[in-house]
Structure 1
Amino acid sequence: MTRTVRTRLHDDHGRVTVYFAILAPAFLAMLGLVVDGGAKVRALQRADNIASETARTAGQAINAGQAITGGSKEVDPALAAEAAQAYLAGLDGVTGSVTVAPDRQNLTATVSLTWDPLLLDLFGALGSTTVTGTATVTLVAQ
């Protein structure tokens, strides 16, 4: 080999290595934001969906004796809370509560669950986060 070819082959001064060392963490952080950001959005959607189902379940706990005799349909607060807790008991890591309005025609379910990031947790940026979902239902008399 001639001297010029040998010099060109060994003429690496580490410029690519420094470039890679600077940009690789930035690319990993961006990937973490995309993956974990999407996962958090899905966790928030799941919390809202569970809150909706909890509210529907609790909304079916009406005062049956009063409704059967032709009276107004009203939510029984004790039965609604019991129905909501029974529904939530079948879900792992989900807690919640139901609040019945004084008019007993509206109720609000609030649920919480824990979301754990996948990639950003490796950088120590985030730990477990609690996400909350809320749903309100109104009884409709037919």
Structure 2
Amino acid sequence: MDTTTCALEAGPGRGHGERGGIAVFLAVCTVALLAIAGLVLDGGGKLSATERADALALEAARAGGQALDAAAAITGTAIRVDPVAARAAAAAYLQHAGVHGTVTVSDDDTQLTVTVTSTYTTRFLPVIGINSMDVTGHGTAALLHGVDQPE
């Protein structure tokens, strides 16, 4: 048995050329798995940041949609939203939340649109040079909801 074992170990091309090959393979696989984990975790983080931006944009639009035209409401002529006050209320909400965004009112003063821009700071992807990702959220509110005369 010793003869067979020695013959297999000493056979031509066996054992000497592949020394350390498994270590290189494991190193490459480890780097690849870490890169995939980084993409998954930072991708999920970006999705979470996008959901937050959308929520903030929707809440800012809602806050703007509640800015009634006080003069028309008090006199009883109409219940409507003041576009200037709506824009200011939505901008104030964004400022209080600590995010940057734009607030626009449609030409016919019936819709308020808020766009929030933010940045997600990556945790794993800086290894490959991606330090941050841009995030955008959108929200819209109807400034008139079928009520044009007080009851």
TM superposition score normalised by structure 1: 0.82
- Number of residues paired by the alignment? 134
**Given that residues 38 and 125 in structure 2 are in contact (C-alpha distance below 8 angstroms), is that contact kept between their aligned partners in structure 1?**
yes
Summarize deviations over 1:6-41 as a string: whole Å, max 9, x none.
x9xxx9921220111221110011000110010010
Backbone CA RMSD of aligned residues: 2.3
Please name the residue that 1:84 is paired with: 90
Q: What is the Cα deviation at residue 102 of structure 1?
A: 2.3
Runs in 1 of length 4+ with deviation above 6 angstroms?
none
List gaps (5 residues or longer) in structure 2. 10-15
2:141 pairs with 1:137: yes
Distance 2:78 2:133 in 1: 42
| CA contact 1:84–1:97 (8 Å) conserved in 2 | no
| 2: CA distance, partners of 1:128 / 1:118 | 9
Indicate which of 14, 21, 28 corresponds to 1:22. 28
Same amino acid, percent of matched pairs: 44
The answer on whether the counterparts of 1:109 and 1:134 sit within 8 Å (CA) in structure 2 is yes
Greater Cα radius of gyration, structure 1 or 2:
2
Whether the aligned pair in 2 keeps the contact of 1:32 and 1:120 (CA below 8 Å) is yes
Amino acid aligned to 2:48 = R
Q: Counterpart amino acid of 1:112?
A: T
Please report the TM-score for the alignment, with normalisation by the length of structure 2: 0.78
Task: Please give the secondary structure, in 2, of the residue aligned with 1:90.
Answer: helix
Paired residues of 2:87 and 2:112 also in contact (CA < 8 A): no
